[in-house]
Amino acid sequence: MSYWNPRVEEMSPEEIRKLQFKLLKTQVYRLYSFSEFYHKRMKDANVHPDDINSLEDIKKLPYMYKKDLRDNYPNKLFVGGQDDLVRYHVSSGTTGKPTVVGYTQRDLDNWAESVARGMTSIGLGRHDTVQVSYGYGLFTGGLGAHYGSERIGATVVPASTGNTERQVELIRDLNVSAICCTPSYFLHIAETAEKMGISIEKDTKLRTAVLGAEPWSEKMRKRIKDSTGVNAYDIYGTSELSGPLFTECTEMNGMHIWGDLAYVEVIDPETGESLGPGEKGEMVITMLQKEALPIIRYRTGDITAYDDSPCPCGRNHLRIERLSGRVDDMLIIRGINVFPSQIEYTLMTIPELGEHFQIVIDRKGVLDTMVIRVELKPSAFSDKLSDIMKLKKNVEYALKNSLNVAAGVELLEPGSLARFEGKAKRVIDKRELK
């Protein structure tokens, strides 16, 4: 087993918790003293740094929300002076103002260090050529994967997104062995390669994909492996934290959260109650070493569960499960909670269906309706109406059993749905327009 930073990665659980408490205490004192925002928040919550005497006392500290970042646009939450900043990243502002994140050089070093540990844990190193097909620029994905890959000594192809045929050529011609992108864009790349007469498995050396920025299922991982020969690994991060930070290891049993950099809680999103190992809820993250834009108890909105048992890879750092979706992505259909990831998982169990789908929500009278539009595989496409209707009923039955709510199904020709270079637009909620 390879380690990038054995001293940290092989720490015992006791050592990790001791270090986390030390870092937390230091960060809380720093913010109480030098951050107007956090000082007021702690005062309002009637908590003082002296009240933090154990890791469990973190629950005394108030939450931080994305709204706080927008309300303090552009840089009112920053700690330190302009001279300490070396970079800004800005998230898209689909609602209201965007969020601005600043970085000191130490912040960037820790970011690259985190990605380097993850890349090493899935077997990548100096011998690899890594194609980064996340967006570059203000979006954090591309640069995070780029500098993490360079940190381990890999050769980086900064392809960014778009020009997919050219991306396929680069994979083949430059002997690319690993790629970083969204799951939906990887599927598009594989689909484009097939149309070009290029087999990812037979005609390229691509064997590893680091996929993130949108939820995807275990069934999707298996499909990717079966169709392309590529081992797909999950990576997690948000623009507010630093971008892509934490990956799975070769065990593929959850993403390691490096305890020297972050502390994770999982809570009931409605009550705020702390949940135990294996219980799904909203992830709350505290960044223990962030300098420019400190993050304490940030409500990510992401749904997951944590596992604090030892990993067979030898790393004792807490792991989080594959994301089930987001609190704000949850669809409520006739009183039933439905996540797009549940739908994907069910669709991927049906061999006749392709990987591309879309969820259309509407309202007829007082009742919500849900229609799943999904492409057929070329091999399953038939001009026999009876075959199509039989498959349609089978898909509807599978969805009803999985979701506990009825959904209509539209079976589409291969290539019918729009392809996306970044995050796929899975849900069209027409209720919002009425």
Reported as a single tens digit per residue, the pLDDT across 70-128 is 899 999 999 999 999 999 998 865 445 788 999 999 999 999 999 999 999 999 999 99
Give the integer Cα–Cα distance in Å for 71 and 375: 42
CATH code assigned at 260: 3.40.50.12780
Give the integer Cα–Cα distance in Å for 390 and 232: 33
Domain limit, last residue, from 286, 301, 327:
327
Residue 97 shares a structural domain with residue 144: yes
Residues of the domain holding 339: 330-433
Residue 372 shares a structural domain with residue 359: yes
Residue 262 shares a structural domain with residue 281: yes
Give the integer Cα–Cα distance in Å for 366 and 182: 37
Residue 283 shares a structural domain with residue 364: no
Q: pLDDT tens digits for 85-101? A: 999 998 865 445 788 99
Residue 278 shares a structural domain with residue 183: yes
Domain limit, last residue, from 285, 306, 327:
327
Of the candidates 186, 181, 178, 175, the one whose C-alpha atom is nearest the C-alpha of residue 152 is 178
Give the integer Cα–Cα distance in Å for 205 and 424: 26
CATH code assigned at 425: 3.30.300.30
Q: pLDDT tens digits for 246-260? A: 999 999 999 999 999
Residue 302 shares a structural domain with residue 338: no
pLDDT at 88: 95
Give the integer Cα–Cα distance in Å for 173 and 193: 13
pLDDT at 379: 85
pTM of the model: 0.84
Residue 19 shares a structural domain with residue 160: yes
Q: Which residues pair with 336 in a beta bridge?
A: 333
Count of domains forming the chain: 2
pLDDT at 124: 98
Residue 272 contacts residue 284 (beta carbons within 8 Å): no
Domain limit, last residue, from 287, 307, 327:
327
Give the integer Cα–Cα distance in Å for 197 and 203: 10
Least confident of 24-28, 43-47, 57-61, 215-219: 215-219
Residue 289 shares a structural domain with residue 399: no
Residue 123 contacts residue 208 (beta carbons within 8 Å): yes
Residue 116 contacts residue 126 (beta carbons within 8 Å): no
Measured in whole angstroms, how far is the alpha carbon of residue 207 from the centre of its chain? 21
Residue 180 shares a structural domain with residue 95: yes
Of the candidates 232, 184, 180, the one whose C-alpha atom is nearest the C-alpha of residue 344 is 184
Q: Is residue 173's pLDDT more than 90?
A: yes
140-153 b/e (C-beta count within 10 Å ≥ 16 → b): bbbbbbbbbbbbbe
Residue 88 shares a structural domain with residue 195: yes
Residue 286 shares a structural domain with residue 393: no
Residues 17, 20, 24, 25, Cα dihedral to 10°: 60
pLDDT at 196: 98
Q: pLDDT tens digits for 352-407? A: 999 999 999 998 876 788 999 999 998 887 778 888 899 999 999 999 988 888 89
Residue 150 shares a structural domain with residue 299: yes
Measured in whole angstroms, how far is the alpha carbon of residue 295 from the centre of its chain? 18
